Structure 1
Amino acid sequence: MTTLHDPLTVDAVEGYLATRWLGRPCHSFGTVSSTMDVARRLAGGGAPVGTMVVADAQTTGRGRQGRRWSSASGLGLWVSLIFPDDIASGVLAHVLACGVAEGIERCGAEGVAVKWPNDVLVAETNTLDAASKNQPTMWPDAVVRSARKIAGILVERTGSARYSVVGIGVNVWHGMTDFPQDLADTATSVALCTGNPISRARLLAEVLGVMERRIDAVRSGISLVDEWRRRSLVLGRLVCVERGDDRLIGRAAEIQPDGSLVVTVDGDSHVVGSGSVRFLGLTE
């Protein structure tokens, strides 16, 4: 897909940014090995909470569980941020995933949902009508035909350090031929979903604005669990939860306030704090 000139310089980002602390200061690079590594070094050197690292490309970008994250030049948002360490990882992952989902919606995408714990997908459903577009949809009640990944989030904490480093990857300008072969059937991008050009800097500012408001709310004691449940694409569905070599097959029944997933198997409830989810019976 042909892109317009779409820089991610500090000036371009700050031209849209309206946050108080999140994304400030901003460090912009052309190509790095991983924005996570740069952010971690900055945090170790005393960089303040809210510091952001953006790059046009990553050579060794990574996702959850050590998976490689394809981060081609000029096609996406490859971002890492330093967050305070006073929010539980499960809660932080959900807050950020919902923030990314809403930010993408604000730029014109529809049907954006969250797959536990922190993947952001675009779902095609038989029940998404004009009245529900761009609103958090009751996905458990929707008939979803398929879902493609548009964004992912990685939360890392380091020992006794009083911060978390969060990586966010959003596919923005990708056309179908821009994805690696192993992702071509499961990934999508903002451009593919909207059919319109979108400034990466504007999208980043939208995402950060939503995230900051949610982080501030959680730190003030407000629970956002109802939003997580509305955004969730897994609740009510048959899933396989994979944790290393262990697999749990059952129906996703609930998301708890700490972000853990409750899966029912033959009437018994199992609480899962981490892992990867595969849908059973849904094209993904």
Structure 2
Amino acid sequence: MANLKEVRNRIVSVNSTQQITKAMKMVAAAKLRRAQDAITQMRPYAQKLSEMLGTVSAGAESATDSPYKQARPVQNVLMILVTSDRGLCGAFNTNVAKAAVARINEQYADQARRGTVQVMAIGKKGAEAMARRGFTVNTNHVNTFGNLSFSTVREAAEEAMDGFVKGQYDVVEVVYNEFRNVATQIIRVEQMLPIVSTPAPAGVTANVNYIFEPGEEEIVTELIPKTLKIQLYKAVLESNASEHGARMTAMDKATDNAGELLKELKLIYNRTRQAAITKEILEIVGGAEALSSN
């Protein structure tokens, strides 16, 4: 049985840990509110932008000629992993890495064997996880969350888009956590490039002769790249909100576990203390009886 000093030290240590997890939970809750507001505002804009692109593409011949729509045999693959920079958020980062590896093994196993699968990591944890698995990792954008804004995410999107246009990548996919609520994050694997044609929105008839101003080519040339950048920015915002939700949940569970452990330690402490007192009483009684018998 542990002595009283050891149990007291453990109680102090666990109590200190519980205070830290409580504080981290409160910080995550505050950050989650802001991140949730950001993604809530972004979703309608991203959806309308995609609908607008579908509407224009339905009647614009130049949309089919976009370099971002050119499908070709898949030789080189770029996987964009959106994870967090820090841990202590449960299986948040592990799930993204596992989903990316599963996607590669399922769809791009030949390319992986040839070493033509590259990873662009947005978030340090994703870079570390994929590097451990032997993949070539682009770490130019691991610090995106340190200064999260559209301009920082745009740089990553432009790098992937330029690589696709130049033929460095034949397909670009994004793996991230979609935010549903504090306790639920859903892994999403989406193809970013080449752009997959989607049906026209309800009420839009194909092959309609639209009147474009300033011009069909100018609108499509501007709209498609912007949509791609917004698509990646939305994925990053989804992941950011999911991270804070996952960390809040993890810290809440850690705080509860620390409370349960404290109860057990205090029970052990009281039992150990009672045993020590009982032992001292028995020694005193035994000594008194020995003196009286003399």
Common topology (TM > 0.5): no
Which of the pair is proportionally richer in strand? 1
- When Rg is computed on C-alpha atoms for both structures, the one with the higher figure is 2
What's the TM-score, normalizing by structure 2? 0.24
What's the TM-score, normalizing by structure 1? 0.24
